[in-house]
């Protein structure tokens, strides 16, 4: 069963990588380096505000649904209604902050439509989280394939035709509406959504707050440096840096696979049999360590090829910091395992603390160093932030379980894939 789920999640990940990195790769070639920098800056702003709407629901839904599938309709209805109220508040906040940042009208409009696109995607992910929690990975795969296929087709055509970042942002929004309609249609085949009482929404927002804080800080530290460096570097340098960040985010799909398969699996094992739980955690760590080494080594060895294939000749300077990008990807994969353990152990507060400290360190270091050393130092700061977070996770898990669940070297280098 685990092997089947991993296989379905793998194909789902391929579709997400194709739709994510594939689109960014095309836009990197279509837009000038300056326009690409402005577009990805607007995308970053949209991402930051969409995180408020996500509120950590997507993580919590997987955990809650996997624990009690009979409550699926209640869990989903509360999450969807809560996200709608959060959207109204966040939309107003978006324009207020953009005026404060003194962004151009082009960037504000582009950012707003990317924000709307990511809001639609957040609702899509609500349904995908339900499918993962119920181990309905075929439904997840169907939605992911259609959503990414529609996005690739519509956005590619508009970008190639107009070469305009605003029209491209609008095309993202339209494609995500189609994806949301289809996701809801698949969900409605076996489930329903109703309007929950206001008291239920308030109660769930309060219960989900630890997940939200963890989710916000966990994603915020991948975006805050872009906002900080915008007035300090050229749009071209911002575009180069964002190309590297998009590789990190794109390969973050691997984290989604690990979370979607192992979070419900380990959560169930912890509730039933502690010995089976420990066995499965060691199996998980065996797999993530292998994946981390392969990804890191592959990205370093093939850095020039990867840059040329994904972004083209005008981004070749990115190769200078690509080894940093590679190590960040590897560290994130390793950290995913310990993040899952903290989640199912109800230690979300510790994840939030680690993320909050890392954000403070990033802000302080970036403000001091970027004016003198440019975007390259931001990548180094981000690497150390990831090292700090993963170390914090590992120490927290050791304090909780008195072990890190690490496999032996013999087990690690054994050819057989652990499930």
Q: What percent of the chain has pLDDT over 70?
A: 92
List strand residue ranges (DSSP E) for 5-120, in order: none
Per-residue pLDDT, 92: 87
Work out the pLDDT band at 381, boundaries 50, 70, 90.
very high
When pLDDT is averaged across residues 118-129 and rounded to a whole number, the result is 92
Q: Which residues contact 338 (CB under 8 A, 6 or more apart)?
A: 390, 393, 394, 396, 397
pLDDT band at residue 416, thresholds of 50, 70 and 90?
Answer: low
Query: To which H or E segment does residue 182 belong?
Result: helix 165-187
* Share of the chain residues as helix, strand and coil, in percent rounded to the nearest 5: 85, 0, 15
Query: Highest mean pLDDT: which of 71-80, 246-255, 270-279?
Result: 71-80
Q: What's this model's pTM, rounded to 2 decimal places? A: 0.79
Q: With cut-offs at 50, 70 and 90, classify the pLDDT of residue 370.
A: very high
Mean pLDDT of 40-57: 86
Q: What's the mean pLDDT in 76-99?
A: 88
Cα torsion 305, 311, 317, 319: sign? negative
CA 107 to chain centre: 23
User: How far is residue 88's CA from residue 85's CA, in Å, rounded to a whole number?
Assistant: 5
Q: Are 366 and 379 in contact (CB under 8 A)?
A: no
- Helix orientation angle between 105-133 and 165-187, rounded to the nearest 10 degrees: 20
Residue 15's pLDDT is what?
Answer: 64
Residue in 47, 80, 38, 41 with CA at minimum distance from that of residue 61: 80
């Amino acid at each position: 069963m685990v092997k089947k789920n991993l296989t379905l999640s793998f194909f789902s990940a391929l579709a997400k990588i194709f739709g994510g990195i594939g689109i960014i790769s095309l836009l990197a070639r279509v837009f000038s380096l300056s326009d690409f920098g402005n577009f990805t800056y607007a995308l970053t702003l949209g991402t930051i505000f969409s995180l408020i709407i996500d509120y950590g629901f997507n993580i919590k839904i997987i955990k809650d649904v996997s624990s009690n599938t009979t409550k699926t309709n209640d869990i989903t209805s509360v999450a969807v209604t809560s996200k709608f109220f959060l959207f109204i508040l966040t939309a107003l906040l978006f324009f207020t902050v953009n005026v404060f940042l003194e962004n151009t009208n082009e960037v504000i409009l582009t950012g707003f439509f990317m924000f709307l696109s990511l809001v639609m995607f957040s609702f899509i992910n609500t349904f995908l989280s339900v499918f993962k929690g119920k181990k309905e990975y075929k439904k997840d795969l169907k939605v992911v394939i259609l959503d990414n296929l529609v996005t690739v087709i519509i956005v590619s055509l508009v970008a190639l035709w107009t070469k305009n970042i605003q029209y491209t942002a609008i095309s993202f929004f339209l494609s995500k509406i189609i994806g949301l309609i289809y996701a809801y249609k698949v969900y409605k085949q076996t489930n329903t959504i109703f309007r929950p009482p206001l008291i239920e929404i308030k109660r769930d927002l309060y219960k989900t707050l630890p997940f939200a804080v963890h989710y916000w800080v966990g994603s915020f530290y991948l975006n805050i440096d872009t906002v900080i460096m915008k007035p300090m570097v050229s749009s071209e340098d911002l575009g180069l840096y964002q190309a590297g960040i998009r590789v990190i985010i794109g390969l973050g799909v691997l984290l989604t696979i690990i979370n979607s398969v192992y979070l419900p699996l380990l959560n169930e094992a912890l509730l039933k049999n502690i010995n089976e739980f420990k066995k499965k955690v060691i199996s998980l760590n065996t797999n993530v360590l292998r994946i981390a080494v392969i990804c890191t080594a592959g990205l370093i060895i093939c850095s020039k090829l990867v840059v040329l294939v994904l972004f083209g000749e005008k981004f070749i300077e990115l190769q200078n910091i690509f080894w940093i990008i590679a190590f960040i990807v590897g560290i994130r994969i390793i950290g995913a395992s310990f993040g899952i353990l903290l989640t199912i152990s109800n230690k979300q507060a510790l994840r939030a603390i680690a993320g909050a400290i890392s954000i403070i360190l990033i802000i302080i270091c970036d403000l001091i160093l970027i004016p003198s050393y440019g975007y390259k130092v931001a990548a180094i700061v981000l690497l150390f932030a990831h090292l700090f977070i993963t170390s914090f996770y590992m120490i927290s898990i050791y304090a909780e379980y008195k072990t890190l669940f690490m496999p032996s070297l013999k087990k690690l280098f054994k050819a057989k894939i652990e499930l």
